[in-house]
Amino acid sequence: MILQTIDYVEGSVVMIDQTALPMEERMIRLSRADGVAGAIRSMRVRGAPAIGIAAAFGMLLELENLLRESDQGGTGFFFDRKTGMSGSRGVAIDPEEAAGKLNQAAELLAATRPTAVNLFRAIERMKRVARENPGDPARLCSETGAEAFRIHDEELERERRIGAFGAALLRSGMSVLTHCNAGGLATAGYGTALAVIYSARGLGMDIRVYADETRPLLQGGRLTAWELLKNGVDVTVLCDGAAASLISTGKIGAAIVGADRIAANGDTANKIGTLGVAVLCARYGVPFYVAAPLSTFDPDAPSGESIPIEHRSEEELIYFSGIRTIPEGAGIYNPAFDVTPAELITAFITEKGVIYPPYGGKTGRLSGAGS
């Protein structure tokens, strides 16, 4: 099942509020770039591919609003992902003003979260459209909308291909460990790591999933489990500290995770706790796979040391379900991501195929194809 994680519908960005899951399936509708930026910061939308899509849609909202303001007496909307641009209304806008609005939105959105490279790739693609159409407002409008929707549609196709390539690495009866959420909620709707599970099941394989709860925001317990159950997949949730015990039993046939940024040498930034899973898999001889689109590979980051790591609010650790669980005076260390060295990664599963070590030159060349 494809989740409608994020979409652009009749002039607004519509997304699942992931902070409300699993207790409530709530959709929110946003009409300005600052609202989208707030949703990214607060993790109402999260996951590297989904954040990239959100940024593209957030920039398009600013063009939508400029068109609406210039369309005297007009009603309705200008952009919709399913139908494209609504006619040629509003093309009398000043293209320089439009480019300025897009650049302002780009700066706002780029400042939300530093680690996921997809965010910056999507922003640059949208800015490039404005640069390439400096004096033609009609073309600027149509091409900007088309590019935003292309980012979404391309991502969904990549996810399907990732799932197909990854399924070939599994066998029926296998139990797979996941960390965080790399499913439809983190992407255009199908997933990366979970796309492998869905594709394998589509081939008739019996696959069981063990999902790390993923402290402190419980993306595995709240989101991965919710999504897998919605798709009829057998899932068991475990606390992060139980992963070592589980892996040591030999019950896990493979671990599959997503990624927020992959350096040229294969070092991979993903949700905090991923490194621990990779170390355990290496110790017990369990394949550790990273499923990610080529847009997540960053050739400008030579190694993991070049990847900026976001540190989030202390309150995420201090409080649990609104109750303070850590005494006042204790220091807080709350990085959102860690970096897994390339030598701990069995293979990368991408939309162009499975990449095995040595990685170096391979990841650098392929990442250019995903830009």
Report the catalytic residues. 260
Smallest CA-to-CA distance from 95 within 52, 138, 36, 38 is with 138
Q: What is the largest CA-CA distance in the chain?
A: 68
Which strand ranges, in their side-by-side order, compose the sheet holding 261-263? 297-298, 261-263, 268-271, 337-340
342 close to 267: Cβ distance less than 8 angstroms = yes
For the chain, the three-class secondary structure string (H helix, E strand, C coil) is CCCCCEEEECCEEEEECCCCCCCCCCEEEECCHHHHHHHHHCCCCCCHHHHHHHHHHHHHHHHHHHHHHHCCCCCCCCEECCCEECCCCCCCCCHHHHHHHHHHHHHHHHCCCCCCHHHHHHHHHHHHHHHHCCCCHHHHHHHHHHHHHHHHHHHHHHHHHHHHHHHCCCCCCCEEEECCCCEHHHCCCCECHHHHHHHHHHCCCCCEEEEECCCCCCHHHHHHHHHHHHCCCCEEEECHHHHHHHHHCCCCCEEEECCCEEECCCCEEEECCHHHHHHHHHHHCCCEEEECCHHHEECCCCCHHHCCCCECCCHHHHEECCEECCCCCCCCCCECEEEECHHHCCEEEECCEEECCCCHHHHHHHHHHCC
Q: Using CA atoms, how far apart are residues 47 and 283, in angstroms rounded to an integer?
A: 28
